[in-house]
Amino acid sequence: MNSEQHIMINGRFLTQSVTGVQRVAMEAVRMLDEMLESGEIDRRQYRFEMLVPPGKRQEVELRHIPVREAGRMSGHLWEQLELPRLTRGKLLVNLCGPAPLAKRQQIVTIHDAAIFANRENFSLVFRSWYRLMFTGFRIASRKVITVSHFSKSEIQRYCGIGERKIAVHHLGVDHMAKTIADHAILAKHGLTPGNYVLAVSSRSPNKNFDAIVKAIRHLGNTAYDCVIVGGANAQVFGQAEVSGVNGETGGHARAEQVPRPVVNQAELAGVPDKPLEEGVGAPVSAAGSTHHGDSHADLIATEERMAGARNGDAAQTPRNRVKLLGYVSDSELKALYEHAGCFIYPSFYEGFGLPPIEAMSCGCPVIVSQAASLPEVCGPHAIYCDPHQYTDLAEKIQQVMGDEALRHSLRERGLAHAEGYRWRSFSGGLFREIVQSG
């Protein structure tokens, strides 16, 4: 029998708030731990340990992967200067994008290439650091893991990393099955099952919230509501017509923190490492800094008012109520998915696009954009729209909400399709890369 291999995991993500890639990292590590427990990974041959910088951190229950605090620094300094020394002679696994450039015996994970493809959304300093780091992984890594074939092609294109060095492993969605839906949120906000369109608000220009706003206005008066979770400024729709606005909306720091894996590498992985109680993971604006106001929403509101003046009532706010729910829990989000008439996700750019698959796993019909990784991930089991044409999104909403047979078909096909996305598959693929890179 071979000697025991000691594998180190970069646990810096535990010092950040749980959004996006941090959530993915937690699910991957939990599944590795389950595989150690079940014997799928031989504990006599492979020993895992997770290193974290000093300070406050998220707690994670693991049976076979000890978490050890090491070093004196924090954030990027800990990762770049101390982590290579702490893991000398051992394979290091990095699950959240950033990784030490002074180490070659490591596996890195790059979820997307948004920092290159949408460079205008990030500050010069921010994108310069990520460009240096990601292109440096051509040398400073044994393997690069990404989450879609689309992202693989983007990483090859922008980072110059060879095709054979990049492995694709799709993410899982079975965390939704472990969540108990809180159906009380429907009564709380006066929602009728099957009679609302669900969308997620985001300040990231990549997510194309602008198209959602314009599509809702274009639809005019409908028999169904539009429900927005996450951050949104009521001024986008017009204060008088919006209901259900609570203290979590507008320019509040929790605006982006719908607790679900929304994977946008540069948007979420590069947040500063502040103490957890100080709001690590607050939304990053297009300028790359913490976004305290909602100027993006205000600009959209101004644009819509001007459009209304030019086009008569074509851009007027619909009479049906747009409900801004703000922050929702995992359990509430699952209930909203389960009872929505459809879920819309007209994103311009995704490395994977987990929310549509989450929705499918809950039996929710899905409308997504025909862009980036979304056709690969959703396959023929979603309705596609042109993200550059809000009128097309509006037409697709009308199509789905007006056709019960189509919604039933999308529900059944989506449920079956989502079965193919399992964290065991992702972590199993990760472990195979570990074995080959050891």
Contacts of 128 (CB under 8 A, 6+ apart): none
Confidence band, pLDDT 50/70/90 cuts, at residue 17: confident
Q: Do domains 5-172+422-437 and 176-255+294-418 have the same CATH topology?
A: yes
Mean pLDDT score of the chain, rounded to an integer? 84
3-state secondary structure 241-268: HEECCCCCCCCCCCCCCCCCCCCCHHHH
pLDDT for 155 beyond 80: yes
Q: Which residues pair with 46 in a beta bridge?
A: 5
CATH superfamily of domain region 176-255+294-418: Glycogen Phosphorylase B; (3.40.50.2000)
- Upper half-sphere CA count for residue 155 (Cβ side, 13 Å): 34
Domain segments of the chain: what residues?
A: 5-172+422-437, 176-255+294-418
Q: Tell me the percentage of the chain whose pLDDT exceeds 90.
A: 71
Q: Indicate the pTM of the whole model.
A: 0.83
The domain over range 5-172+422-437 is classified in CATH as 3.20.20.70: no
Give the model confidence (pLDDT) of 26-74 as tens digits: 999 999 999 999 999 999 999 999 999 999 999 999 999 999 999 999 9
Q: How many CB atoms lie within 10 A of CB 297?
A: 24
Contacts of range 238-241, beta carbons closer than 8 Å, 24 or more positions apart: 238/317, 241/317, 241/318, 241/319, 241/321, 241/322
What ranges make up the beta strands (E) of 176-326?
A: 196-200, 225-229, 242-243, 322-326
pLDDT for 297 beyond 80: no
The answer to whether the beta carbons of residues 140 and 106 sit under 8 Å apart is: yes
pLDDT for 302 beyond 60: no
Highest mean pLDDT among 179-193, 195-209, 296-310, 313-327: 179-193
String of DSSP letters for 269-282 = HT-----GGGTTTP
Rounded alpha-carbon distances, angstroms, from residue 27 to 89, 230, 289:
26, 22, 28
pLDDT for 178 beyond 70: yes
pLDDT for 305 beyond 60: no
Lowest mean pLDDT among 12-26, 78-92, 94-108, 343-357: 12-26
Q: What are the tokens at 258?
A: 């719908």
Give the model confidence (pLDDT) of 211-262 as tens digits: 999 999 999 889 999 999 986 555 545 543 444 433 333 322 233 333 343 3
